[in-house]
Structure 1
């Protein structure tokens, strides 16, 4: 029996790697989980009531594209948030979480060839791992572009050779960035969109952390694309309720883009998609329509930004996150530090190298650890102080 080779060189996923690194060692204190970006704040209490009220929908196959109510709520949210009008029939679609959408969009939209060559897909490094697997699945070449302190923790796609850009089909970009918390400015989006127009590639804008920020709401790619008069098919937006509304288990994401983009994604998902159950779609529609809980949630994260700034004041290389809920802390070696923290304090963090790909012997995440600020404020303060005292 033979197996495909395209995934044979994949490293173990980040969290199995972490378990292999830590779990055969005894923790040095009460276990504190600061690894996974799983929100722990309360979601709106009325969500379960909406699901219960619509529970009869579990007896029906769900709408694969999203019910009219859900698509309308998502289109309304895009209009409120980004100032961009989207036709709920042809320009938005429900996803079973953004990871599924980021994968299936590549399957639906990446061509087999670009200018007669194997297509390239641009990926920030560090990156959300589905970008790489989606690229390999469509037989494209992943091009990992460092997103380091030198580049403002966002990838400098403009620095790539013209021959690479000319065969680029898709550029993934995450803003606010996971794990660094950097935010793409209006100027950054403008330059990226102009680059995409010059070399004719699509931008997959992963903006799932867009509602968790320190001061000003991050500029969205769709807003800038509209201002520039770009082709509506140029930018594809992905977002979800996981971080915005503390509902990672609801699996309620959205994709928004040009009519042809959404038509092709709908066509693929009609065959292969896993639609969101009807009662969950009803709840998602209500959640997208409500902003009060989002503001309350954001205030809790802003409180933890202040705690982190206080705890790490004066630490060389400390970068206060602009948005999102991770700290990207500089260390000498992320794996060694994660093991030291576990053995001496019981705190679990993620080595930055597990979120990046090495190239020419270098991994841009190696000198960092990712720390998730998802616990309550005082628990977060206690853990960050213990982390600081152990490492610095």
Structure 2
């Protein structure tokens, strides 16, 4: 067996199942699960129609580089969304089977484990970042989120020695779980470090289309690079997906885009990896990337939930509206794990303890676990369920704090 498998930690939801062991739910409460970021809004009918209308695509092997139509649709969407003058669909775009598998596989492509490789990750983080680093023979290093800076990663804590050993950085903007959006100054700093030390930046943007101000969408990685004169996107790859944008997590459809040299090497890796998107999914994906009306409606539904839930929760918990994404990241009165277990036991509401999403050390070995004392609430359930859950959480939190 690959000995590196032993370095993998249990996934957050495996920890959650262990935390819930022995819990008996109250008989007078219907269970409401707000722990997992799985979109629950209906899949748009035109995407379902596109699947049905293209079933003949099942009769042939798909190409790893994807269809010309899909790469063009993605390139055009990137240019519209981020006001970019040119994205070459032939060299700067590659369809993938959702951002998750691509985020993992990309590390296997760019890391040299014989060079004492280090991978930097925000903390809290998406556990795929850590797993991809470990299985590629690298050392994951966690950069704590700074609550005083709207949960931006504390890049100033990274020593020159750590920067010099870094081969890959994962960033997530809008962030999971805090919904923070990286600023142009943050990007400028990372690009400067990448030029100085030669590492690659992997920008996870799967929440980029869940935001609350139609006039001010979140800044993207390619957009930031272009504004700063990096028109070739050197050492930068962004990862995106239709799962949350278009409510099609089961389609497993996303893309990577950016540095053409990195795309070329990633395509080589994927040719051996066997990660080609079905032409059926590709055709439905073209339809999704070409339409914005359903995405605007999707944002409206999430905004309604935040508008309804926050006034209920804020008198009971320290919680604020995020810049983007569909999570709340409130403080808990006391232990996040004790709070989450007791909430399920008394109110039949499932949330995710924040400590399960983070690790105990920042880049300098200090800082503790930045998820401790917080919970992640995913507002993915229907509006009425989110409102009902908010009332239960608020009632429970007030009683919990008064113990």
TM-score by length of 2: 0.92
The yes-or-no answer on 1:279 pairing with 2:277 is no
Partner of 1:104: 105
TM-superposed CA distance for 1:61, in Å, is 1.1
4+ residue stretches of structure 1 with deviation over 6 A? none
- The answer as to whether partners of 1:305 and 1:321 remain within 8 angstroms in 2 is no
Paired residues for 1:159-174 under 5 Å: 159-174=157-172
Once the two structures are superposed, what CA deviation does each residue of 1:36-59 show, in whole Å capped at 9, x if it has no partner? Answer: 101111121011211111111112
Q: Which runs of 5+ in 1 are unaligned?
A: none
**Root-mean-square deviation (Å):** 1.5
- The answer as to whether partners of 2:119 and 2:168 remain within 8 angstroms in 1 is yes
Q: Distance in 2 between matches of 1:355 and 1:165?
A: 24
- The answer as to whether partners of 1:158 and 1:192 remain within 8 angstroms in 2 is no
TM-superposed CA distance for 1:250, in Å, is 0.6
Question: Which of 356, 363, 385 is matched with 2:358 structurally?
Answer: 356
Q: What SS is found at the alignment partner of 1:284?
A: helix
Q: Distance in 1 between matches of 2:156 and 2:147?
A: 17
Q: Distance in 1 between matches of 2:347 and 2:310?
A: 21
Partner of 1:380: 386
Partner of 2:37: 37
Q: Distance in 1 between matches of 2:188 and 2:313?
A: 34
Q: Distance in 1 between matches of 2:180 and 2:35?
A: 19
The yes-or-no answer on 1:49 pairing with 2:49 is yes
- The answer as to whether partners of 1:175 and 1:184 remain within 8 angstroms in 2 is yes
Partner of 2:395: 389
TM-superposed CA distance for 1:164, in Å, is 0.8
Partner of 2:330: 329
Once the two structures are superposed, what CA deviation does each residue of 1:278-305 show, in whole Å capped at 9, x if it has no partner? Answer: 1111000110110000000001111112
How many residues align? The count is 387
Once the two structures are superposed, what CA deviation does each residue of 1:311-346 show, in whole Å capped at 9, x if it has no partner? Answer: 123456312111100111111211111110110011
Paired residues for 1:254-265 under 5 Å: 254-265=255-266
Paired residues for 1:151-162 under 5 Å: 151-162=149-160
Q: Distance in 1 between matches of 2:316 and 2:116?
A: 45
Deviates more, 1:104-113 or 1:50-59: 104-113
TM-superposed CA distance for 1:381, in Å, is 1.0
Q: Distance in 2 between matches of 1:153 and 1:140?
A: 26
Paired residues for 1:90-239 under 5 Å: 90-113=91-114, 117-215=115-213, 216-230=216-230, 231-239=232-240
TM-score by length of 1: 0.95
Q: Distance in 2 between matches of 1:195 and 1:302?
A: 36
Deviates more, 1:140-149 or 1:124-133: 140-149
